[in-house]
Amino acid sequence: MSSGHDELVQHLLYEVALSGSHGFGIQELKTAAHNFYHERNGQSLQQRPPPDEGDLLFSETPPTSIVVVDDVLIETVWAALSKHDDINVANTESETDHASDSNATPSTTAVAGAQHADERLFATEERMWHAIAGHGIDTKRIPYLEFQCLSVIA
């Protein structure tokens, strides 16, 4: 499972880098994780032999597992990403939102990411350049404003 988890984290690092200055919120993280595992689960279902092919113990292909994307996985991935050196976490909550929420009582049935609702993940500039341009920061190859345009397109 750790290799699949590591692959997911690497994939999401790339996705965060492509988000550029917009950042990557918890909802985008959930969507990207669902898409990542939906694609992988689809491939594993295609590789699975038909059920009438015989006994699983003596089959030629090993059994495959399907990963379920749940709240625990999302929280674990968020924690791993927020601890990564190339990722910065910024709170996007405005002062007016904070003042109106101070009177509200917190819900006991909070879904995963509720405490991260006002946070966004941002990649370092070096990570963004590698994801978008395929190399490190080099304004002689790609001027800064052209890179900003590429970032918006990505």
Tokens (6 digits) for 91: 């709170």
| Percentage of the chain exceeding pLDDT 70 | 69
| Domain residue spans of the chain | 2-88+115-153
**Amino acid present at 122:** F
HEC secondary structure over 79-108: HHHHHCCCEEEEECCCHHHHHHHCCCCCCC
Kindly indicate the confidence band of residue 100, based on its pLDDT and cuts at 50, 70 and 90: very low
Average pLDDT value for residue range 15-30: 90
**Inter-CA distances, 5 with 2, 12, 57, 116, Å:** 5, 10, 27, 20
Pairwise pLDDT comparison (54 vs 4), residue with the higher score: 4
